[in-house]
Amino acid sequence: MDQILHPIVLAGIIVFYFLALVLISWWKGRHANEDAYFLGNKASPWYLVAFGMIGDSLSGVTFVSVPGEVGIKHFYYLQIVFGYMAGYFVIAKVLLPLYYRLNLTSIYAYLGSRFGHVSQSTGSFYFLLSRTIGAAFRLYISAGVLHLFLFGPLGVPFWLSVSIIIILILAYTLKGGIKSLVWTDTFQSLFLLLGVVLTASAIISGLDWSLSDAVAAVSESGYSKVFDWDFNAPTFFPKQFLSGMFIAIAMTGLDQNMMQKNLSVNTLRDAQKNVIWFSFIVMIVNVIFVSLGALMYLYSSAKGIEIPARTDDLLPMLALNHLGTFAAIVFLLGIIAATFSSADSVLTTLTTSLYIDILHLDIDGSKSAEKKKTIRNVIHAGFAVLLLIVILVFRAINNEAVITGIFKAAGYTYGPLLGLFAFGIYSRHALYDKWVPLVCLLSPVISYIISAYSKELFNGYSIGFELLLINGLLTMGGLYLIRKRT
């Protein structure tokens, strides 16, 4: 079926959306100084941060993958989301009080004060590595959708498509930093949610159902199974719950990108309110996502539409080819929001971590404020170029399995972060700081070997997301071996 929206119309929607972002960014960031760039002058409203974090926690990958997987894994994804909520509680009660007590800008400065500069640089390095690859992967997926339906039909090559997207992101993030991002992320989260909700509404309308009819159909379908009690299955509930809990702790609470906006809230109490409310918002949003997935499969069955081989392609196919102009527009706005939110705050937080944790420019008294600002802007733009290079490398590889493998490998870096912070918080030992990188290198390698041979080692048991916890425990064990005995 032909595409519903002409590429020129799609281009007009993107231009409108981008101009709105630039206007918001200019309005909030026109008087931004260094403190505004890094922490928003500690004046970010907690409720905006909570809502805006939706755009950070969800990406174009989530937007199309979570609904698509419902056809195979039912509502099992919610088991992980239940774990997220427990993890966010730990962040609010354990990590945020620590960060606020030390008045941190980069959370990895805690590792420096606790163990030494090598540990701080190691934590920062793993964040820089994982977030660069992760942001590039998410942007690659989202930009691929935009290229397929917009830039490609206009004759624009892929490298130029991605360059345009990154230049647009750079344009509204370079000056204001966190002070602007708190507001632009709120704007983008709104459009991302509208994209999901209104796409679901278009499906319900296409089936001539009321909302109560849709709820009943989803509940009675085979897709709405939430809990899996098969011990050997990767989706076994207890390990999904624990995995979700530690994923939230490591990939939100120990991730500079997710924490920097939290630290821009004025008081600890407000920051804790932000995280707790965010946990409930995440649950609601993910229920909507999986419900959309069930509706997609019910609609396809009712209309005789063939399910694509890749479940990720089902939502774009329905929205852009079957559900009408309105659904195509709202889906596109959701994908655009996911695309920009995949990388905008990452540029700022990568810059923060390199600036503070690796180069230590925050405590460098030999450089003027103007010189530091110039260096900061160069780093910010440099990370934008690095994202472009990584995305083009992914394109050159042109092998989905390899690219997904690279993305998963980047996830191994959160285990050492989990182990470092846990050892620092729950032990009194000092470390031989220079040996920390070796421990943090060996732990992911051993974790990978355990995962690859888990069925042979554990009588058919398949390791899933709980690998993060194993990785963290191995790191803690290694750190114990290099502890100082005095």
- How far, in Å, CA of 219 to CA of 294, rounded? 9
User: Whose CA is closest to 420, among 126, 205, 217?
Assistant: 126
Alpha carbon separation from 62 to 67, 133, 143, 286 (Å, rounded): 8, 16, 14, 10
* Cβ contact 57:346 at 8 Å: no
For residue 83, which of 199, 326, 200, 252 has the smallest C-alpha distance? 252
Q: Are 38 and 105 in contact (CB under 8 A)?
A: yes
* Crossing angle of the two packed helices 178-206 and 325-341, in degrees rounded to 10: 150
DSSP for 286-319, written as a single string:
HHHHHHHHHHHHHHHHHHTPPPPSSGGGHHHHHH
Q: CA nearest 282: which of 89, 45, 29? A: 89
Tell me the two tokens of residue 147.
Answer: 């290229």
Are the C-beta atoms of 105 and 98 separated by less than 8 Å? Answer: no
Closest CA to 26 of 227, 187, 179: 179
Do 267 and 97 meet the contact criterion of CB atoms below 8 Å apart? no
CA–CA separation, 411 and 431 (whole Å): 25
pLDDT of residue 102: 92
- Looking at residue 1, its pLDDT comes to 40
Cα angle for residues 69, 70, 73 (degrees, 5° grid) = 80
Task: Give SS3 for 438.
Answer: helix
Residue 206 dihedral angles phi and psi, to the nearest 5°: -65, -25
Q: What share of the chain is helix, strand, coil (3-state, %, to 5)?
A: 80, 0, 20
Looking at residue 6, what is its pLDDT?
Answer: 64
C-alpha dist (Å) from residue 89 to 161, 253, 270, 304, 414: 40, 10, 14, 44, 19
H or E element, residue 159: helix 158-173
For residue 301 the two structure tokens come to: 């069955």
pTM (global) more than 0.95: no
- Amino acid symbol at 79: Q
pLDDT mean by block of 10 residues, the chain; 486 residues = 59 78 76 73 84 74 78 87 93 94 92 94 93 85 74 81 85 76 83 84 88 89 85 80 89 89 91 92 89 89 84 79 78 75 81 90 81 89 92 81 66 90 93 94 91 75 76 94 85
Supply the DSSP string of 323-339, one letter for each residue. Answer: S-HHHHHHHHHHHHHHH
In whole angstroms, give the CA distance from residue 21 to residue 23. Answer: 5
Domain 7-411 CATH class label: mainly alpha
7-29 and 158-173 helices cross at what angle (nearest 10)?
20
* Neighbouring C-beta atoms of residue 452, cutoff 10 Å: 11
Compute the radius of gyration of the chain from its Cα atoms: 22
Q: CB atoms < 10 A from the CB of 290, how many?
A: 24
Q: What does the alpha-carbon distance between residue 250 and residue 378 come to, in Å, rounded to a whole number?
A: 29
For CATH 1.20.1730.10, list the domain ranges present in the chain. 7-411
Backbone φ and ψ of 9, nearest 5°:
-65, -45
Give the CB-side neighbour count of residue 400, counting CA atoms within 13 A: 4
DSSP letter for each residue of 176-207? TTHHHHHHHHHHHHHHHHHHHHHHHHHHHHHT
